[in-house]
A and B are shown apart, each in its own frame.
Chain A
């Protein structure tokens, strides 16, 4: 039915005008396709904008206002910079920032070194590499809250297995989660257990993709294993490692689950991350202004980190051969 009518329409058009090319002009086609593209992306982009971009903007507005909590909600009472003033002068924010940065730097370095070692070993593993990969993915896929509860139990002062082992070794009964430095180390160990395997997989994938002929040349020149590692493997791995580090660092700025469940930010405020500080300010003390300021400061730090590593992003986009 449609075929017949369109055919007759075409012959009618042919009588009036000379032959026109049946395909629409490419740039019109392009425009149509572009419109279709935005139509296809619109639902996803709208959802993302609604839940991320607008709230972030609102967070910034909130942090720049005197927020009063009322019975039915809250009201914004005029522009002020006092929330940020409070932030800069409060030792709480500085301590949280210091803890977050310190924790991030130490865990990322340890995870990177250990992860690279594991990857180098697994690369030489002939059989069962697939099963090893699956095993490495297990800690990655575990719920962080479970990880936190498990290690809190291990560190427990009365019935924890760490206490039993340490006292059997003649090291006495250190209070692990109740003293600042051991608590921080305890958190780091839990984090390292969960995330090192993940780093190992990324590095391993990078290793497998390295060109083999470089190594053959190095071996012909009589290069030692160490020399080959430092002068060939590591430089070639740098893009992989840089990307992994960047994402780990940015992600670590949102650090919340592990210390919140394991130590509650304590003892005192020694393991209070920026996210915990913001959460407590917002939902425990209901101080929305300062809370929003802490949250915004976290977001700004992440954004600065992103901008600083935009070159890595660009490399990544470029690699896909746009």
Chain B
């Protein structure tokens, strides 16, 4: 056994515990600073030297983010784009993942490797042509102008994850469906899908996170105030001379809470996604 039994005070104070505490502090201190600063009065965010607690305590920054700035609009846009993309990715990804995982197709291997390469391709490589295309068809500053590229960039990873789960489903289950006379789509829906549910959670949470945090394409395609998503909105809060950090941090906290809760609930699936061989940042 690698883990020896610890006795006496070593049970409470030892290298493992100390290192764990250091790790926790390493992660939490910047987050604490984000939250504490967001809860200060707007002007005292710029105090020098800074006060180390949220004093004077105030919710003014939160109010300012929604009233003084249009953070509510950005939040709504992020929700719409993220949810629509995730739904599309899961539907298209399930069908493709099922086919590439379980059906006898020639060129399956090549397709999968190409998908893997595409999933690490830098978005900047497609930026200019996509921008020109979207301008020509009038998709700049629209929801579909982000949903379509987000879907395309998140599909390869989703297909991989779902395919891996589909591979693990016993063949007999599928054949039962076929003997019962169910059509192909119905087999996927009633027999395969429930089995692949963990894969759907994993693919879904990764897609959600990627859409929620994406910046480059959102900045390029949707820069009008009515269609900005959260990252672009937060980056643009700053004026020319004064950066309203209080407002930025209040908006940041509001933007981090939903994704934080989701990741906490689905942490098992995130970890399994990170480690099922397909690693993505």
Q: Do the two chains bind?
A: yes
Residues on A close to B: CB < 8 A?
Answer: 30, 33-34, 36-41, 43-45, 47-48, 50-56, 58-59, 62, 73-74, 117-118, 121-126, 130, 132-146, 148-154, 158-161, 163-164, 193, 195, 197-198, 201-202, 205-206, 212, 215-216, 219, 243-244, 247-248, 250-251, 253-254, 256-257, 260-261, 274-275, 278-279, 282-283, 288, 291-292, 295-296, 298-299, 302-303, 306, 310, 313-314, 316-317, 319-322
| B149 contacts across to A, CB distance below 8 A | 51
Q: Determine how close the nearest CB of chain B comes to the CB of A104; give it in whole angstroms.
A: 12
Interface segment among B26-34, B54-62, B64-72: the answer is B26-34
Please state if B34 and A150 are interface contacts (CB–CB under 8 Å).
yes
Please state if B153 and A141 are interface contacts (CB–CB under 8 Å).
no
Interface centre among A202, A254, A291 (most CB of B within 10 A): A254
| B279 contacts across to A, CB distance below 8 A | 202, 243-244, 247
Q: Determine how close the nearest CB of chain A comes to the CB of B185; give it in whole angstroms.
A: 9
| B267 contacts across to A, CB distance below 8 A | 130, 133-134, 137
A interface, over-half SS: helix
Please state if B105 and A34 are interface contacts (CB–CB under 8 Å).
yes
Interface centre among A55, A123, A254 (most CB of B within 10 A): A55
B interface, over-half SS: helix
Please state if B130 and A55 are interface contacts (CB–CB under 8 Å).
yes
Question: CB within 8 Å of A: which of B175-229?
Answer: 184, 209, 212-213, 215-216, 220
A262 to B245 alpha-carbon distance, docked (Å): 13
**Which residue of the partner chain, among B30, B33, B99, B164, contacts A40 with CB atoms under 8 Å?**
B99
Please state if A150 and B252 are interface contacts (CB–CB under 8 Å).
yes
| B16 contacts across to A, CB distance below 8 A | 121, 124-125
Residues on B close to A: CB < 8 A?
Answer: 1-3, 15-16, 19-20, 23-24, 26-28, 30-31, 33-34, 37, 45-50, 92-93, 95-96, 98-100, 103-106, 108-109, 111-113, 115-118, 120-133, 135-136, 148-149, 151-153, 155-156, 159, 163-164, 167, 184, 209, 212-213, 215-216, 220, 230-232, 234-235, 243, 245, 248-249, 252, 255-256, 259-260, 262-264, 267, 270-271, 274-275, 277-281
Please state if B128 and A282 are interface contacts (CB–CB under 8 Å).
yes
Which residue on B lies nearest to A53, using beta carbons?
B118
A58 to B115 alpha-carbon distance, docked (Å): 19
Please state if B127 and A278 are interface contacts (CB–CB under 8 Å).
yes
A205 to B273 alpha-carbon distance, docked (Å): 11
A1 to B234 alpha-carbon distance, docked (Å): 63
Which residue on A lies nearest to B232, using beta carbons?
A145
Q: Determine how close the nearest CB of chain B comes to the CB of A266; give it in whole angstroms.
A: 15
Please state if A47 and B99 are interface contacts (CB–CB under 8 Å).
no
Q: Determine how close the nearest CB of chain B comes to the CB of A280; give it in whole angstroms.
A: 11
Q: Determine how close the nearest CB of chain B comes to the CB of A99; give it in whole angstroms.
A: 15
Question: What 5 A-B pairs are tightest by C-beta distance, nearest first?
Answer: A254-B122, A51-B152, A37-B103, A205-B275, A299-B125
A68 to B122 alpha-carbon distance, docked (Å): 25
Please state if A33 and B277 are interface contacts (CB–CB under 8 Å).
no
| B230 contacts across to A, CB distance below 8 A | 143
| B262 contacts across to A, CB distance below 8 A | 141
A302 to B119 alpha-carbon distance, docked (Å): 11
Please state if A283 and B220 are interface contacts (CB–CB under 8 Å).
yes
Which residue on B lies nearest to A147, using beta carbons?
B30
A197 to B31 alpha-carbon distance, docked (Å): 14
| A321 contacts across to B, CB distance below 8 A | 167
| A118 contacts across to B, CB distance below 8 A | 19, 23
Please state if A41 and B30 are interface contacts (CB–CB under 8 Å).
no
A134 to B269 alpha-carbon distance, docked (Å): 11
Please state if B92 and A44 are interface contacts (CB–CB under 8 Å).
yes
Q: Determine how close the nearest CB of chain B comes to the CB of A96; give it in whole angstroms.
A: 12
Please state if A320 and B167 are interface contacts (CB–CB under 8 Å).
yes
A47 to B149 alpha-carbon distance, docked (Å): 8
| A137 contacts across to B, CB distance below 8 A | 263-264, 267, 270-271
A38 to B231 alpha-carbon distance, docked (Å): 37
Given the known A-B contacts A118-B23, A141-B263, are A48 and B115 also in contact in the complex, defined by CB atoms under 8 Å? Answer: yes
A58 to B164 alpha-carbon distance, docked (Å): 33
| A73 contacts across to B, CB distance below 8 A | 132, 135-136
Please state if B100 and A41 are interface contacts (CB–CB under 8 Å).
yes
Given the known A-B contacts A43-B95, A134-B267, A205-B274, are A253 and B167 also in contact in the complex, defined by CB atoms under 8 Å? Answer: no
**Which residue of the partner chain, among B92, B129, B281, contacts A59 with CB atoms under 8 Å?**
B129
A300 to B275 alpha-carbon distance, docked (Å): 27
| A302 contacts across to B, CB distance below 8 A | 120-122, 125
Please state if A150 and B30 are interface contacts (CB–CB under 8 Å).
yes
A28 to B115 alpha-carbon distance, docked (Å): 28
A135 to B278 alpha-carbon distance, docked (Å): 21
27 contacts across the A-B interface (CB closer than 8 A):
A36-B103, A37-B103, A38-B105, A39-B99, A40-B99, A44-B155, A47-B92, A47-B152, A48-B156, A52-B118, A53-B118, A122-B23, A132-B24, A137-B267, A141-B262, A143-B231, A144-B215, A193-B26, A201-B275, A212-B2, A243-B277, A256-B215, A257-B231, A278-B124, A292-B128, A319-B277, A320-B167
Given the known A-B contacts A292-B128, A317-B109, are A138 and B103 also in contact in the complex, defined by CB atoms under 8 Å? Answer: no
Q: A59-B126, A144-B215 are in contact. List 17 more A-B contacts (CB 8 A).
A: A36-B184, A37-B104, A51-B126, A118-B19, A121-B20, A123-B2, A132-B24, A142-B256, A146-B255, A149-B235, A195-B281, A202-B279, A205-B275, A243-B279, A254-B122, A254-B216, A282-B127
